[in-house]
Amino acid sequence: MLMKTVLISTFFLCFQCEPLRNTATDEQGNGSKLVPQVEQIDIDKELQKELNTLESRLAFVESTFQNFLNGYNDLKQNYGNLKTQYSQAMARIHQLENVTQQTRQEISAQNSQYSTLESINSNLQKTVDNTNVRLSNSTSVLWTEISNVTDEVINISDMTNRSFDFLKNKNVILENKFQEISKNQSSIVSALNHITSPGSRNSHLVVFVAQLSREILISTHEIIIFDKAQLNEGHGFDSSTGVFTATTQGIYTFSASVESDNRDVRGAIYRNNEPFVYILGLFVDQKGAFASAMSYVHLDEGDRVWVQWTGGVNGRIGHVRSQFTGHLLREDFTTS
């Protein structure tokens, strides 16, 4: 409105000065005669026309200025919104930085636990290896003792034969004693023929080694079927069921190794539905779990032995290191 008032005042001042411009001198320069003036009505019309034009332009300027004010207010409001969003974004960034720091601390703690578990697993593996070495040494000692017993029995048999030759020349009074010694001699020779020892022609060789031909999934309390028999002397192991059946009465040794890449190893070696040695191994990250066990057991003819999974469902057993073995150490013998 101020600009409109200023423009209108300016036009009125110009209108008042117009007669001065319409005054002129004659050709002689005397100035005694006025130039005819433009009629007042034409001037008013021109002025009115100019005024209308200015008012129209002033209205356009006012409209443009108002639009500018509206745009400025919108920009101011958007700036406030952006400032609020920026503050929220900074707060979220700080929150994410705190979460990242906590995550790094947790990862560090987990790495420490992983290192501890690796150390424990390494110690357990060393313990298992040492145990296997001791058991192997014990087996060698047992074979040595069996060999010594065999030698002693042979010596006893030789002594008995010499005694028999000596008593054969005695008188009739010693005949009953001779018959008793002869009977004992037959018993000792029969026992000698039944003792299991390396190189004995009448010994019963029973030994098997079985593995897995592929990786398998197994459920709780399910028998692990080692379907690939590498060795099966005595034909006591059935690769279709994973069960060994004793064909000879005596002392046996059995061992089993099981690996799993998705959970702890939990299993046992069973004799007639009763476990007599357990197989336990902890799952360690991507390295999986591995465990082995070995034991001695006395079997009667017809007794059955197998490896059974006792861990969680969907246990995945690898075929590379999993194995089931057994062999007859000493056959029982009876005297008649």
Tens digits of residue pLDDT in 140-153: 888 888 878 777 76
At 229 the pLDDT is 94
pLDDT at 23: 45
User: Which tens digit of pLDDT belongs to each residue from 304-324?
Assistant: 999 999 987 778 888 788 999
- C-alpha to C-alpha distances, 31 to 16, 17, 35, nearest whole angstrom: 21, 19, 10
Higher pLDDT, 196 or 130: 130
Could you list the beta-strand ranges (E) of 200-334.
207-211, 216-218, 228-233, 237-238, 243-245, 250-260, 265-271, 274-281, 289-299, 304-309, 315-317, 323-331
For the cut 50, the answer to whether the pLDDT of residue 7 exceeds it is yes
Altogether, the residues listed in the chain come to a count of 336
Mean pLDDT across 93-115? 90
Residues 6+ apart with CB under 8 A from 188: 153, 156, 157, 160, 335
pLDDT at 186 over 90: no
Q: How far is CA 93 from CA 90, 98, 103, 105, 245, in A?
A: 5, 9, 15, 18, 69
How far apart, in whole angstroms, are the C-alpha atoms of residue 44 and residue 98?
A: 80
- Mean pLDDT of the 200-209 span: 74
Asked if residue 175 has pLDDT above 50, the reply is: no
Cβ atoms of residues 228 and 213 within 8 Å: yes
For residue 32, what pLDDT band results from cuts at 50, 70 and 90?
very low
Whether the predicted pLDDT of 205 surpasses 70: yes
Q: In what order do the strands lie in the sheet with 237-238?
A: 237-238, 243-245, 304-309, 265-271, 274-281
Res. 190 pLDDT band, cuts 50 70 90: very low
Q: What are phi and psi of 24, to 5 degrees?
A: -145, 165
Task: Supply the pLDDT for residue 275.
Answer: 96
Phi, psi (deg, nearest 5) at residue 316: -105, 115
**Highest-scoring range by mean pLDDT, 99-108, 126-135, 322-331:** 322-331
DSSP class of residue 29? Answer: S
Res 288 pLDDT > 90: no
**Most distant CA pair in the chain, distance:** 206
Task: Specify the pLDDT at position 157.
Answer: 59
| The pLDDT value given to residue 8 | 58
Poorest-pLDDT segment among 82-86, 154-158, 169-173: 169-173
The structure's pTM equals 0.42
Could you read off the pLDDT of 231-248 as tens digits, one per residue?
999 999 999 999 999 999
Cα–Cα distance measured from residue 225 to residue 246, given in angstroms and rounded to the nearest whole number: 17
Query: What is the chain's mean pLDDT, rounded?
Result: 79
pLDDT category of residue 289 using cuts at 50, 70 and 90: confident
Residues 6+ apart with CB under 8 A from 265: 258, 259, 279, 280, 281, 282, 283, 289, 290, 291, 311
The predicted structure's pLDDT at residue 231: 95
Across the range 25-32, mean pLDDT stands at 49
Tell me: pLDDT of 225 over 70: yes
Per-residue confidence (pLDDT) for residue 135, from 0 to 100: 84
For the segment 43-55, the average pLDDT, to the nearest whole number, is 89
Looking at residue 171, its amino acid is N
Of the candidates 304, 324, 311, the residue with the CA atom closest to the CA atom of residue 217: 311
Which of 275, 277, 260, 268 minimizes the C-alpha distance to 314? 260
Q: Which residues in 295-320 are b (16+ Cβ under 10 Å) and which e? A: eebebeeeebbbbbbbbeeebebbbe
Q: Domains along the chain?
A: 204-331 (2.60.120.40)
